[in-house]
Structure 1
Amino acid sequence: MDYSKTAAAVLQGVGGEKNVSSLVHCATRLRFVIKDNALVDTAAVKAAPGVIATAEAGGQYQVVIGNEVPEVFAEIARISNLAGPASNENSASDGPKGNLLNRFIAMISAIFTPLLWALAGTGLLKAFLAAAVTFGWLDNTTSTFLILNALSDAFINFLPLALAITAAKYFNAAQFTSLAIAGALVYPSMVDLNGVPDLTFFGIPVTMVSYVSSVIPIIVIVWLQSHAERFLYAKLPAAIRRFVTPMLLVLILVPLTFLVIGPVSNLISGGLAGGIGWIFNVVPWLGGAIMGGLWQVFVIFGLHWGFVPLMTAELQTSGYIYLIAPLFAAVLAQAAAVTGVWVRTKDENLKSLAAPAALSGFLAGVTEPAIYGVNLPLKRPFVFGVVGGVLGGGLISAGGLAGNAFVLPSGLGIPALLGTGNLVLLFIGLAVAIIVPFLLTVIVGFKDPVVATAALALGTDLQVLSPLDGTAVPLTEVADAVFAAGTLGRGVAILPRVGAVYAPFDAEVVAAFPTGHAIGLRHADGAEALIHIGIDTVKLGGKHFSLKVEKGQRVVAGDLLVEFDISAITAAGYDVTTPVIITNPRKYPTIGSPASGPVAHGDPLFLAVAEELTLA
């Protein structure tokens, strides 16, 4: 790929620099936020050399490049004022981002994505801890339990602090000022004031609510902070603005949160809780369906905390919590949906996120990793989870089920529902809540990050010829764990008897290391091969190697690429076994007919078998 040509063509295709609000990149894609979609010429973008596909998602215009996206990104930075150091993947933009739902999802995803692995990891720890207590392996009155519980609970307990950082990045606010504001919300003495009557601030009545684990208040306040900072920086003298601005923001915004934002959020939560509680008492199945369907929506907005006092009061007066029973359906339904994503997706990164998110949801009832990292960005799985929650929650509440303790709805918490109501309807409701979203996700599907952008035939099988005279051996016999495990790609190794490397197929030289120890080639159909002469021979610094080609040069099968001195390299203590591998296994996942024993250059070495992806 000629990066300069690709960068220029893509930038022109999206309407030029003036039509781009922001640009970032991920592992394979350029992600543009476009000002005017009418100025984008998608056909021209797709025609740019090296562009695989385009996609529009989450308010972004995405250009799929592949592994060389960092080079194209850097080239765009060189020829424009885009993609500079100020750009980051969590920045808001003034440009349009589609409808309100897309804009909301993009914001939530950007703010929560950096937290996902910590949420998933601590969620799993909490699941294992709950299992240990449930099965009697650990006494929850011991100091060991207290320490482990702190490890598993601390991150989500102080979630506003983490959100302050990511929200500040998204809204382009000062991160440590945001952190100072969030710290005030969860400061121990402030937490202790929750529920204390007759509080005032300079004579103004204050209704203190809990901000522990809250979401919406800190996001709102950081958004206000970002606007207030720009105003203050523009108005205050340069000599004092850097310390006066954070002082004023903390002094104004924290009391504003205590006086207005927190109480309003709590009022909304309380109103919703009271209304749904009334419905729940009059028509139990309807109350269960509403709670089962909307619980995870409430979680997104942080409104679920309004139900906690209601549940506590219900437990104190009756000894049972009827509102909590359908929440098991809501939680397990989202866990089932993310499990369906794990089963169906072809994207390895998505699989690696969906698996722990599913375990965290099923075992511990911690659904944030599933919701923010997988289901909500993909949209359909989240909706399927809501459907499962409605059906399962309705059935559970129709059976008169209730919790005999205040527990986190999860697979491990199910024993809290035993002993009340119709147990047959309980297990039917739980089964429906799990099976329905799982099947909908697997069968109906969603826009898979791999499948949706792989609207291309992945090439035809490619016969790779031996680039060396020598003896072919399985790659597993190479004395290097990375090559032997196939981490870099699949192929065959050759123990050379002649120090000359020839092109194994018609190709472009995409990597010609100055040390001469390795050559990267790309076939016109997209197959990418690496010929690595010896193990750790890069340490020779080019000594005993003579490179005959340069990067960008086109070669045909049989052209001389490198000459090297086998005797000298061996005498220097290096193994000359040479792996010949295909480095894009997603496109060529299988190696067929591998050669074994003596081979000469030009002999068939192995067949790189292509696989076609079809849109689901």
Structure 2
Amino acid sequence: MATSPAKDIIQSIGGASNVVALTHCATRLRFTLKDASGIDQAQVEAIPAVLGAVPQSGDRFQVVIGGAVETVYNEILALPEMKKVGTGESADDIKAAERAKGPRGKFAGLDTFFEVLSDSFRPILGALLGASLFITFMALMATLGVIPAWNAPGVTLEPGWAFINLMWQGVFVFLPLMVAYNASKRLGADPWVGFGIMAVVMLPGFSALAATDGAQTVFDGKAAIVSIFGLPLTVTDYSSQVFPPLLMAAVLALLTKGLKKVIPSSVQLIFVPFLSMLVMIPVTAFLIGPIGVFGGAAIGEFLKSINDFSPLIFAIVIPLAYPFMVPLGLHWPLNAVMLLNIQSLGYDFIQGPMGAWNFACFGATAGVLVLAIRAKNSQMKQTATGALAAGLLGGISEPSLYGIHLRFKRIYPRMLVGCLVGGVIIGVGGGVTTNAFVFTSLLTIPAFNNIPLYAIAVAASFFTAMILVILSGYLSPEQKAEAAAQLAEDTAMEEAKHAPVAPVATPVAVASSTAAATAPAAGGTATLVATVLATIGSPVEGIVVPLDEVPDPVFSKGIVGLGVGVDPTGDTVFAPAAGKVLVAQPTGHAFGLMLDGGIEMLIHVGIDTVNLAGKGFDVKVKAGDRVEAGTPLVTFDRAIIEEAGYSLVTPVLVTNPKKFGSIDQAATGHVAVGDALLTVTAK
């Protein structure tokens, strides 16, 4: 049984394997299928989110959704089975666009470096998050005095608590093996070979070499030098290390590539892994491992010296830099440094200030949620609710960042103020540290050493960003117009779906467009004359086409709205009356207007002309513009449209007909621009 409208729709048209391509226009999904002959139209139309289904020539098939079409479109593309179908803007598109603005978009090598870091950590973030909550629990128990300081040297826990303490250690102790696997796989080497190479330096037998007679202790007892066949071998603890496996994987990938060039393919399965291990195990143990451990430690000590000099520096720089580093993927090296700090120093000083950024991010999302609830924007309410839950409970900022903040750029300045407020509080308070790598969420607040200071700081970040977003809004004027159009179209589509189609009729002639009257009929009884609220002029010169003759069943059945069609003889579409542009499709094929007086209109230039992707259209207005009767909306090239085989018949529709008594055709035959085309009467 399907679990979502997106999945229902795909199943009803034969599954993802039957889909060749998918696009959408203002109200409908447009599928190109391998075989459309077996589709049950009634089954498709029975899906609650679907307003109608329209089989077309060949193997094309349209599913009418209405104003929520973009949401359903994105949900369909997000289905695992639909990965290779569609061209909608996704989070990956946004990420790529943001990266193109920074150094990653300009230098291929740098981009590859950060992608390798990202792909080395991303698959294990769930395990790190789970382990971090165990650490948070232990920290909370120690704070409450239930157990002694669990991470202090020489502390022995009771067996039960000792077992709980082991629950997080499996992830962090063996983190180098996970990183080695992921990095090797990402770079094209055998991931299990990379895993096996890194595992050698983590064996108890390897660590036991430090107790060999003649071993020399170095680095304040953190390592020992042992002579192996006359060569000095550095023996140290590789638990939780990330730089050694990353360096090892890079060298292994180069070696693997070289070996495959010289070893016949018939025996590569045996000799490539063997020779890779034969070379890389000694190289890692004698050279790469120590360089990674102590080189990383030097980086950590340098950053520690800055933090020791003034915690305020990190407390301000980190939260203000993170909103720009995350979209570019530049935060991954800092994640590695955090892990290194915990291993070499026993604590980390970066995660506290990072919490100020995260909670400012979540606060901005909360502000958007409040505004979405006020505006009855169900799509944004759903997006913000999911993003806020992922943030507050999991410490994950990506749903907020890519789902909302980078789409609505007014949010960023408000969010940065929240980052600054929280950072200053942490810095002035002397900074906060943590003994574990944790995701900065509500659940991990107890993992920080100065809980009151950290809690006050992240609360200040959250509510500062939230309040600023609520006060100033997150939509630009154009986006406000689009949001209003979306809401209006959603409402109109829902009303049209459940309402009977009003007949197209010639209106009763009246002397005034605003006065209702009764007149005695021939038999002496009174006849009610409808109140005409407005007469709408034709937006384009042409021949009037009754609604039921418009060559598209979505329009002809009145699913989208009520009105007429016009087969243009001119080449310019004008505003039919004074009002505001709610939607102006960049392709030029459709315009949504809110006329003065509350009449919502859709002017759809031609049938299926969205497929031209704007070719032959010169758009004159944008969403949010004020227009008067006769303001040009778009000029089109008839030859291009007709040559492509599309009908020029232009539906002119009132999309909120339930608010009125009737929408009536007011003309037949040829009409000039501005001639009466529709009359709208009161209920």
| TM-score band, normalised by shorter chain | 0.3 to 0.5
Structure (1 or 2) with the larger CA radius of gyration: 2
